[in-house]
Amino acid sequence: MQPLSFRIIRLCVLCYLCSMATYSYSSSVIENYNDPLTENNSSLLIEKNRPTMNVGTYHCPPFVMSLDANGIQQTTSTGLSILLWQRIASSIDLQYKMQDYTLKGLLTAVENGSVEVGISCISITPERELLMDFSHSFYETHLAIAVKDKGYLSSFIDLITNTTLLLIVGLIFVAAGIIGWVFYLLEHNINDKLYSMPTKGAQWLEAFILGLLFITKGPFNYFEFKTLSGRVLTVFLAITSTLFIASVTAILASTFTLGLMNSDIKGPYDLINLNVGAKVSTTSSIYLDNLGIVHQKFSSIDAMLIALNNGVVDAIVDDDAILKYKLKQAKQAGRYQQISVLPYQFEKQNYGLAIKGNSPYTEQLNRALLNVRQSSEWQQALNQYLSDY
């Protein structure tokens, strides 16, 4: 039998080993245990410390569509610029809150710093760059003119009162009179075939008709004339009348083409004597002011289109992409069928993000914007909104 002291020592050793094993297990459990409450609090703290950016928008279809067809504010804005901003914010992990403004209100908010970034169809101009910064361009367009097509009666009246057409008709009558008079002097005494009427007045009328036929129909048969002078003149007129007819035909064709196009407007300078409309505070309105063209200012493109359709204005000026998109949507709904955008381009426009001056986010926004522009999603969005005008 073992001594009592030996058994006491062995018991102590066993107790020590058990206590060490228990401590080791407890430490392992504690090290691998994360308190859910502590973890959630930490995440919320990080989220709370992230800054929230103030972003402003301006209703400008198809880039920002924040109002419905009745002009009521929608709960969620959509459009090309909204998609662009969502992808930019996601790529650089930005928190933001969005608020809708008028264009003038948005530019003022960016200028005074209450809005960090303005997104819409905001043109980059030297005047605006003095007040705020801009991102790289994300869309290029130009100014355009929209007019209302004229009815058939109106087009006909414009044609017959066209000064060019009246001038040509007058020139033809004068030339016909001179040619007829010359041939009458040369032929009336010996040519009974051409001048068969018994009275002097009727023979003068025959002479005029002869001259008119020379101009409109071309040269007569050489042997119709009895005198040598008449035959020589016929040969000369055969050449000149052919050239004259060709020139008159070209001028008349151009005049009739303009009438069918329903507009003599070929550019902004043709708007000087017309009633013109543009949106207030836009680059189109500023452009017309710089040209000295007096124009009515409207709050929205819808108001401009209504005024044009009702004959309040003769033409409206706005960005080409916006005009064509609005007309495409309206015509699909059966409205503004007689309004069209003229095929003349002037005053290039570049859209960018308006950024508060000296913003720390400018470089990040530009890098993210360039990445979005190169994506297939952006190209598909452009095709969706801006194709099939």
Tens digits of residue pLDDT in 275-331: 999 999 899 999 999 999 999 999 999 999 999 999 999 999 999 999 999 999 899
Q: Give the per-residue pLDDT at 381.
A: 94
Between 188 and 301, the more confident residue is: 301
Which two tokens mark 215? 């101009």
Q: Give the per-residue pLDDT at 260.
A: 47
- What is the average per-residue pLDDT within 202-225? 73
CB-count burial class (<10 Å; 0-12, 13-18, 19+) for 271: buried
Q: Per-residue pLDDT tens for 50-109?
A: 679 999 999 999 999 988 766 777 888 999 999 999 999 999 999 999 999 999 999 999
Q: Give the per-residue pLDDT at 23.
A: 45
Nearest C-alpha neighbor of 60 from the set 284, 271, 276: 284
% helix / strand / coil in the chain, to the nearest 5? 55, 15, 30
Q: Per-residue pLDDT tens for 155-175?
A: 566 666 677 778 878 888 888
Under the banding of pLDDT at 50, 70 and 90, the label for residue 154 is low
Under the banding of pLDDT at 50, 70 and 90, the label for residue 356 is very high
* pLDDT higher than 50, residue 7: yes
- What is the average per-residue pLDDT within 325-345? 91
pTM of the model: 0.63
User: Coil, strand, or helix at residue 194?
Assistant: coil
Q: Give the per-residue pLDDT at 254.
A: 60
Which two tokens mark 304? 């401009």
Rounded to whole angstroms, the Cα distance separating 353 from 103 reads 13
